[in-house]
Chain A
Amino acid sequence: DTAVSQTPKYLVTQMGNDKSIKCEQNLGHDTMYWYKQDSKKFLKIMFSYNNKELIINETVPNRFSPKSPDKAHLNLHINSLELGDSAVYFCASSLRLAGHGTDTQYFGPGTRLTVL
């Protein structure tokens, strides 16, 4: 059974479009995250939610809006897509807030977004 799943796995779209990526975890975790991995494979956090509440928002453009309908889901909606948004987006979850690094984050398989 997949612990952290994301859909779609690949997303190719035109500049200016609006798109959503979905993430679900069946681990019973309270905390979920979105990360962006750029072309140089550098992985950087974007958002984290704890029990549906936004905890971290890392200087991400307003065009990116996360939504957590319940603690098992954290979706990422992106408006007016730009070329620079092309990247791999990873969802992750942990039992609780990472805090002092005691809770392991488990990652989804990633969504490769290509903006043309």
Chain B
Amino acid sequence: SQELEQSPQSLIVQEGKNLTINCTSSKTLYGLYWYKQKYGEGLIFLMMLQKGGEEKSHEKITAKLDEKKQQSSLHITASQPSHAGIYLCGAAQKSSGDKLTFGTGTRLAVRP
């Protein structure tokens, strides 16, 4: 069974709009990673969250991890076409040992 659920599966926004992508786990997370994948390319590391309530920002992207460490959100402010791609959350869970389990991904398209 899929341990990490991402929503929405796909998203089309107008340039300049804000958006949020969610990642939910059925188990407590020991580390939550956000990656971006441009179409047909590799994964680019965005941010890693570890502590409950932690929030990190890089340029116009902010990621948060809830206090229970079971849900994370990725928020993009004033989206640009360069933000388009597939956003993946990856998590290390105690039950999974040393591997990362990935969510199903969210495809983001930004209309100019």
Contact = CB atoms under 8 A, between A and B. Distances in A.
A9 B37 CA distance: 16
A97 B43 contact: no
Contacts of B59: none
Nearest to B37: A41
Interface size class of A (residues with CB under 8 A): 20 to 34
A42 B100 contact: no
A87 B48 CA distance: 26
Interface residues of B, number: 30
Contacts of B104: 40-42
A101 B32 contact: yes
A27 interface: no
Interface in B49-84: 50
B42 A108 contact: yes
